[in-house]
Structure 1
């Protein structure tokens, strides 16, 4: 007896598993999944309709347009964030802008209301929710410049003295490695001293020889991230960068 030949005819809708009922929460959850796996540019009504096995028109019952969908995705992501309050319950908010060095001098930060209005003006047209972190702030605004030494800065050996941490390689905070690098400097300096008992100069020279290239690499990462975060299409490029970290970690885990 011959077995039945497989056919490519479509299955009847009655034979398909029942689809979960559409809901706003389900649509947002699907949008977050698409964002994390494919990027913000793919979070469209058409792409979500395919993901949910429905027609795009069905989604508009729950979200009016793509802008509202993106706002809902932002809300969902923010809900996952632990804001890390101070012991008195306060939350510190930081705003960074790329501006001429003299720009801070044009704002009277002793007048909190005027300073708040000046900073808010930089974010005209933004969604009200992130703007509220500035508009609703109860404390004074504290201006700070961001300083950085040239990438790869080195110096001639000065007998009996060396530098570590920000004193040796001050950089912008956009690699998030300043404190880590300072602690590593301290550990490496201690190791060099232990490995050169009775010869402090040899220990300091050994420490600096390894510290200079290590600091230069991190400073370059920091400067590159600054350019990325304040450049065009920063949101998508930043997402792609973090997604790349996940992919690299997954690949490394698979190889181990």
Structure 2
């Protein structure tokens, strides 16, 4: 009956990992209790909640390019047309480009995403209960990985128990059933986490996700400029309608 010991190990792995995931999800959702009421998202806030610091940098670049104050070439270069930033994000972009007024887009995006204005934006959203703190994001992601590892471990332990030569053939079916129970537990937790946790734990809290859901996700090139930029904030560079502007970001990703 050595398989019973393996079954106990499987239950310990499944129970521990699923408990950790549940606790992490509860802590991540707890920020919803302090969420700001009636908060109207700015474009920068929407970009951060939807895609994090890099999305904020992309939105700023696209907005300045749409206003003809920054030239983004399809070759992956950014050239300053208007050196006067209208807010701290734009000034951060201009500072990242440098005094020469021209730079590759990739380093500009990285520098802007890591700059103080974006960090301050993140702190304000966390305080308002609209964004998930860094620790909660890491905890949930780690808990999901632990449950995935536990699922693999349970399956491996079950296979070892079934294939053990000392077990009688008539006992193999009950052994499979016993190991199916902890495996079902881990797979169920992963399925629930996929539905309940995955959409918002990366950046937006449940309250932030609800505000994002109320924003328009699609806009054509000729539409209202704010609607267009909102679509970019929510969906990222795939929402860019202009082929040359999109090519500038695509070139940046390859570079």
Do these two structures clear the TM 0.5 threshold for a shared fold by scoring above it?
no
Q: Point out the structure with max Rg over C-alpha.
A: 1
If each structure's helix is expressed as a fraction of its own residues, which one has the higher value?
2
TM-score tier after normalising by the smaller chain length: under 0.3
TM-score, with length taken from structure 1: 0.24
TM-score, with length taken from structure 2: 0.24
Q: Greater relative contact order (Cα 8 A, min sep 6): structure 1 or 2?
A: 2
